Chains A and B, each alone.
Chain A
Amino acid sequence: SYELTQPPSVSVSPGQTATITCSGNQLGNKYVCWYQQKPGQSPVLVTYLDTKRPSGIPERFSGSNSGNTATLTISGTQAMDEADYYCQAWDGSTEVFGGGTKLTVL
């Protein structure tokens, strides 16, 4: 079965750039989206179709996807961005989620 691999945790200082990766075999040939989930809340879509951003999502969130790695970049990270982040893609038979990355802003 297809797997998406994310680092369990990423730390960033406020105001700096956070980079969260999602790796999978030939992932660049698939479309990837990203979700943010804060404790006790439902996930929120932050990017889709690799690079698109839903209305209401701040411009500091951006996505990219090439080769075997998709990346969520948060520029000028704020304390409110501290959350779990999940990538998602379709593997041809099922939607697959990455294991999630806990972003700590400290």
Chain B
Amino acid sequence: QVQLQESGPGLVKPSQTLSLTCTVSGGFISSGSYYWSWIRQPAGKGLEWIGRIYTSGRTTYNPSLKSRVIISVDTSKNQFSLKLSSVTAADTALYFCARDAYSSSANWFDAWGQGILVTVSS
């Protein structure tokens, strides 16, 4: 049973870069059968997809965040990471990493981390 665990600072100052890591256990991130995604949820609100990465390093980002997002993968550590630059209070949210299954031109998130709350504040 695959498990995902987010880690990183819970507090980031405005204009700085938010950096999170997702550690995958119970399976190899390099297996090639999945993408790996980041999703966020502001308190009391809905879900927003941030972007995904394949083990080859190929990425796809939400156009609304694309200019500020970098997702990378480290297969040797079985981890993938998120960097979101120039953060503002609007980026305060619970950030989830998720395993991203796909077929027939569709993707779905079949395993999620517990989430990590990131607050943007000075």
Residue tally, chain B, CB below 8 Å to A: 22
The dominant DSSP class at the B interface is strand
B105 near A90 with CB under 8 A, answer: yes
Among B106, B107, B110, B113, the one with the most A-chain Cβ atoms within 10 Å of its Cβ is B106
B114 near A33 with CB under 8 A, answer: no
B46 near A94 with CB under 8 A, answer: no
* Given A93-B63, A97-B47: A42 touches B108 (CB 8 Å cut-off): no
Q: Which residues of A contact B28 (CB under 8 A)?
A: none
B13 shortest CB reach to chain A, Å: 27
A86 near B63 with CB under 8 A, answer: no
Q: Which of B72-122 contact A (CB under 8 A)?
A: 96, 101, 103-110, 112-115
A86 near B107 with CB under 8 A, answer: no
A88 shortest CB reach to chain B, Å: 7
* Given A86-B46, A94-B63, A98-B46: A49 touches B110 (CB 8 Å cut-off): no
A94 near B104 with CB under 8 A, answer: no
A35 near B106 with CB under 8 A, answer: no
B47 near A54 with CB under 8 A, answer: no
A31 near B106 with CB under 8 A, answer: yes
B62 near A94 with CB under 8 A, answer: yes
Q: Which residues of A contact B46 (CB under 8 A)?
A: 86, 97-100
From B47, B48, B64, B109, A45 is in contact (CB under 8 Å) with: B109
B5 shortest CB reach to chain A, Å: 11
Further 9 A-B residue pairs, CB within 8 A, beyond A35-B47, A42-B113, A42-B114: A43-B109, A45-B108, A48-B106, A86-B47, A88-B47, A88-B49, A90-B105, A97-B49, A100-B46
Binding site for A on B (CB under 8 A): 37, 46-49, 62-64, 96, 101, 103-110, 112-115
Binding site for B on A (CB under 8 A): 1, 30-31, 33, 35, 42-45, 48-49, 54, 86, 88-90, 93-100
What are 27 A-B interface contacts by the 8 Å CB criterion? A30-B106, A31-B105, A33-B108, A33-B109, A35-B47, A35-B109, A42-B96, A42-B112, A42-B114, A43-B96, A45-B109, A48-B108, A48-B110, A49-B103, A49-B104, A54-B110, A88-B108, A90-B106, A93-B63, A94-B49, A94-B63, A94-B64, A95-B37, A95-B49, A97-B47, A97-B48, A100-B47
